[in-house]
Amino acid sequence: MKKQLVIIGIIALLVSVVLSGCNSSTEEESTPEEKILGDWISKTYYNGKYVDGSDLHYTFYSNSSCVVYAIDNDTRNWFFYEFLGQQLITTGSSGNTFVRDYSFSDDNTELVLSSKVYPDIADFLERQ
């Protein structure tokens, strides 16, 4: 009987140790550079209304480059990107630089890009 109590006590102790480890989160928050990687489809809105024909396909790479093209056109444009605080800074092959505010949502499957320079325009990207 005493031996069974010791075994039950050890089992209870092991179960409580295992279960207490389930509450601790060892996952670290992904960086914006990690979140943005991959393929996205963008839709542009002007004053809250969808701009017909504005759909673009973006592919972000880990070397801070991106290719973008219109869904109905295979002409591809490349640019480089970097994150600075809550802003995404892009520099195109022509040398034009754009600064956009960004926010990820829906478990990093949606990305909103907006600009203080053009506050009426927003791009909504959805991960593919």
What pLDDT does residue 123 have?
A: 95
> What number is the average pLDDT over the span 84-107?
95
> What number is the average pLDDT over the span 83-103?
95
CB atoms within 10 A of CB 10: 10
CA gap 6, 9 in Å, rounded: 5
pLDDT digits (tens, 9 = 90+) for 31-68: 999 999 999 999 999 999 999 988 999 999 999 999 99
Check: CB of residue 86 under 8 Å from CB of residue 94: no
pLDDT digits (tens, 9 = 90+) for 96-117: 999 999 999 999 999 999 999 9
Domain 32-127 coded CATH 1.25.40.10: no
Q: How confident is the model at residue 75 (pLDDT cuts 50, 70, 90)?
A: confident
Close Cβ partners of 126 (under 8 Å, ≥ 6 residues apart): 40, 41, 43, 109, 110, 111
